[in-house]
Amino acid sequence: MEGKGDAEKLILPEPTHIGYLTRDIERTMEHFQKYFGLESFKKMVPDYFNRQYHGKPGNFKAQLAFARVGNIVYELIQVLEGKTIYEDFMNEHGEGIHHLGYEISDLAKWTQAYKNVGIEPVMSGERKGLKWAYFATPAIVVELLERSPEGKIV
C-alpha cells in the first residue's frame, strides 16, 4: 500500500508519532504546552486486550495523552500498572523520548519481516480499531500500528 512502507525490505513509512515516557502525565502536558506551544491533549486509558510483554501474556495499563502538530502526534505515556517496556526504559534512562511510531497496513507481515532479521516484538496489544507492536531495533524502539478508521484518536 502506497505510503505504508515496504515490509519485505524493512523500509518504514514516514513516522506518525513520537512516544514520550513520563511518571507524571499532567506535569509533562503542562511542560509541552508551555515550552512547545501545544494547545491541548486528548487523554485516555486504553482498554487493551491480547497484551504481550516479551512474548508472554501481559497485564499492564497506561494513561496516554495525544497532541497533533501537523503530521506528527506527540504521545505521552504514564504507566499505571503492570510490567512494561516503558517502565524498563525509565528505570534505565529516566523519562524522555522512547520510540517513533509508524502506521503500516499489515502488522503480521511486518512482525514476520522483523523476526526474519532476528528482532522479536518486545510488547504488543490491541484495542478497538488498533493493533500495535514494539520492536527494539539496534538504533531505536519502533512502534508499528495497524489502524482502522475507528482506531483514530487525534
- Give 15-37 pLDDT, tens digit per residue: 999 999 999 999 999 999 999 99
pLDDT band at residue 1 under the 50/70/90 scheme: very low
- Does residue 22 form part of some domain? yes
The range of the structural domain enclosing residue 114 comes to: 7-151
Number of domains in the chain: 1
- Does residue 112 form part of some domain? yes
How much is the pLDDT for 43? 97
- Does residue 110 form part of some domain? yes
Going by C-alpha positions, the residue among 119, 5, 28, 141 that lies closest to residue 74 is 28
- Does residue 1 form part of some domain? no
What is the C-alpha to C-alpha distance for residues 38 and 22, in angstroms, rounded to an integer? 17
pTM tops 0.85, yes or no? yes
Here the CATH number for the domain that contains residue 116 is 3.10.180.10
- Does residue 93 form part of some domain? yes
pLDDT band at residue 2 under the 50/70/90 scheme: low
How much is the pLDDT for 39? 83
- Does residue 78 form part of some domain? yes
